[in-house]
Chains A and B, each alone.
Chain A
Amino acid sequence: MTEGVAAPRPTTRLERFWHSTVGKKVVMAATGLIMVAFVIGHVAGNLLVFAGPERINAYSAFLHGTGELLWLVRLVLLAAVVLHIISAYQLTRIDMRARPIAYTTRDPQVSTLAARTIRWGGVLLLVFIVFHLLHMTTGTVHPDFVPGDVYSNVVVAFRVWPVTLFYVLAMAALGLHLYHGTWSAFRTLGLVRPSAEPLQRRGAAAVAILVAGAFAAVPLAVALGLLR
Chain B
Amino acid sequence: MTPLDSRVPAGPLAEKWDRHKFEMQLVNPANKRKHPIIVVGTGLAGASAAATLSELGYRVQCFCFHDSPRRAHSIAAQGGINAAKNYQNDGDSVFRLFYDTIKGGDFRAREANVYRLAQVSGNIIDQCAAQGVPFAREYGGLLANRSFGGAQVSRTFYARGQTGQQLLLGAYQALERQIGRGAVEMHPHTEMLDLVVVDGRARGIVVRDLVTGRIESYAAHAVVLATGGYGNVFFLSTNARNCNVTATWRAYKRGAAFGNPCFTQIHPTCIPVSGDYQSKLTLMSESLRNDGRVWVPARIGDARPPRDIPEDERDYFLERKYPSFGNLAPRDIASRAAKQACDEGRGVGPTRLGVYLDFADAIARVGAQAIRDRYGNLFDMYERITDENPYAVPMRIYPAVHYTMGGLWVDYNLMSTIPGLHVIGEANFSDHGANRLGASALMQGLADGYFVLPATIGDYLASTPFAPVDTSHPAFRAVEADVAERTTRLLGVRGNRTVDSFHRQLGKIMWEKCGMARTEAGLTEALADIPALREEFWRTVTVPGSGQELNQALEKAGRVADFLEFAELVCLDALHRTESCGGHFREESQTADGEALRDDAHFAYVAAWEYAGEGTAPVLNKEPLEFETVHLSQRSYK
Docked complex: B506-531 residues within 8 A CB-CB of A: none
The residue in chain A whose Cβ has the minimal distance to the Cβ of B186 is A2
Tell me if B556 is interfacial: C-beta within 8 Å of chain A. no
Q: How far is the CA of A3 from the CA of B176 in the complex (A)?
A: 9
Interface string of A1-29 (1 = CB under 8 A from B): 11101000000000000000000000000
What residues on A are CB-neighbors of B179 within 8 Å? 2-3, 5
Query: Which residues of A pack against B, CB within 8 Å?
Result: 1-3, 5
- State the main secondary structure of chain A at its contact with B: loop
Interface string of B66-82 (1 = CB under 8 A from A): 00100000000000000
Interface string of B107-137 (1 = CB under 8 A from A): 0000000000000000000000000000000
Question: CB < 8 Å: which of B180, B182, B186 contacts A1?
Answer: B186
| A and B contact pairs by CB, cutoff 8 A, 15 listed | A1-B186, A1-B187, A1-B188, A1-B189, A2-B68, A2-B176, A2-B179, A2-B186, A2-B188, A3-B179, A3-B182, A3-B185, A3-B186, A5-B179, A5-B180
Q: How far is the CA of A3 from the CA of B62 in the complex (A)?
A: 12
Q: How far is the CA of A1 from the CA of B184 in the complex (A)?
A: 11
What residues on B are CB-neighbors of A2 within 8 Å? 68, 176, 179, 186, 188
- State the main secondary structure of chain B at its contact with A: mixed
Q: Distance (Å) between the CB of B464 and the closest chain A CB?
A: 29
Please name 12 further chain A to chain B contacts, defined as beta carbons within 8 Å, in addition to the given A1-B186, A3-B186, A5-B179, sorted by A numbering: A1-B187, A1-B188, A1-B189, A2-B68, A2-B176, A2-B179, A2-B186, A2-B188, A3-B179, A3-B182, A3-B185, A5-B180
Q: Distance (Å) between the CB of A92 and the closest chain B CB?
A: 30
Q: Distance (Å) between the CB of B351 and the closest chain A CB?
A: 37
Docked complex: B151-208 residues within 8 A CB-CB of A: 176, 179-180, 182, 185-189
What are the nearest 3 A-B pairs in CB distance?
Answer: A5-B180, A2-B186, A2-B179
Q: Distance (Å) between the CB of B459 and the closest chain A CB?
A: 30
Q: Distance (Å) between the CB of B134 and the closest chain A CB?
A: 16
Q: How far is the CA of A1 from the CA of B212 in the complex (A)?
A: 13
What residues on A are CB-neighbors of B180 within 8 Å? 5
Q: How far is the CA of A3 from the CA of B183 in the complex (A)?
A: 10
The residue in chain A whose Cβ has the minimal distance to the Cβ of B68 is A2
Q: How far is the CA of A5 from the CA of B68 in the complex (A)?
A: 15
Q: How far is the CA of A2 from the CA of B189 in the complex (A)?
A: 11
In this complex, which of A1, A3, A5 has the most chain B Cβ atoms within 10 angstroms of its Cβ?
A1
Q: How far is the CA of A3 from the CA of B68 in the complex (A)?
A: 12
Q: How far is the CA of A3 from the CA of B180 in the complex (A)?
A: 6
Q: How far is the CA of A204 from the CA of B323 in the complex (A)?
A: 62
What residues on A are CB-neighbors of B188 within 8 Å? 1-2
The residue in chain B whose Cβ has the minimal distance to the Cβ of A4 is B182
Q: How far is the CA of A41 from the CA of B68 in the complex (A)?
A: 53
Q: How far is the CA of A3 from the CA of B185 in the complex (A)?
A: 7
The residue in chain A whose Cβ has the minimal distance to the Cβ of B189 is A1
Q: How far is the CA of A1 from the CA of B189 in the complex (A)?
A: 9
Q: How far is the CA of A3 from the CA of B187 in the complex (A)?
A: 9
Q: How far is the CA of A3 from the CA of B182 in the complex (A)?
A: 7
Q: Distance (Å) between the CB of B207 and the closest chain A CB?
A: 13
Q: Distance (Å) between the CB of B62 and the closest chain A CB?
A: 10
What residues on A are CB-neighbors of B176 within 8 Å? 2
What residues on B are CB-neighbors of A5 within 8 Å? 179-180
Q: Distance (Å) between the CB of A133 and the closest chain B CB?
A: 51
What residues on B are CB-neighbors of A1 within 8 Å? 186-189
The residue in chain B whose Cβ has the minimal distance to the Cβ of A7 is B180
Q: How far is the CA of A5 from the CA of B183 in the complex (A)?
A: 12
The residue in chain B whose Cβ has the minimal distance to the Cβ of A6 is B180
What residues on A are CB-neighbors of B186 within 8 Å? 1-3
Q: Distance (Å) between the CB of B188 and the closest chain A CB?
A: 6
Q: How far is the CA of A1 from the CA of B211 in the complex (A)?
A: 11
Q: How far is the CA of A84 from the CA of B179 in the complex (A)?
A: 38
Q: How far is the CA of A3 from the CA of B188 in the complex (A)?
A: 11
Q: Distance (Å) between the CB of B171 and the closest chain A CB?
A: 15
In this complex, which of A2, A3, A5 has the most chain B Cβ atoms within 10 angstroms of its Cβ?
A2
The residue in chain A whose Cβ has the minimal distance to the Cβ of B182 is A3
Q: Distance (Å) between the CB of B28 and the closest chain A CB?
A: 27
Q: How far is the CA of A109 from the CA of B187 in the complex (A)?
A: 37
Interface string of B429-458 (1 = CB under 8 A from A): 000000000000000000000000000000
The residue in chain B whose Cβ has the minimal distance to the Cβ of A2 is B186
Q: Distance (Å) between the CB of B575 and the closest chain A CB?
A: 45
Q: Distance (Å) between the CB of A61 and the closest chain B CB?
A: 62
Q: Distance (Å) between the CB of B271 and the closest chain A CB?
A: 29
Q: Distance (Å) between the CB of B426 and the closest chain A CB?
A: 24
Q: Distance (Å) between the CB of A6 and the closest chain B CB?
A: 10
Q: Distance (Å) between the CB of A52 and the closest chain B CB?
A: 62
Q: Distance (Å) between the CB of B442 and the closest chain A CB?
A: 24
Q: How far is the CA of A2 from the CA of B182 in the complex (A)?
A: 10
The residue in chain A whose Cβ has the minimal distance to the Cβ of B187 is A1
Q: How far is the CA of A5 from the CA of B180 in the complex (A)?
A: 6
Q: How far is the CA of A2 from the CA of B187 in the complex (A)?
A: 8
Q: How far is the CA of A1 from the CA of B188 in the complex (A)?
A: 7
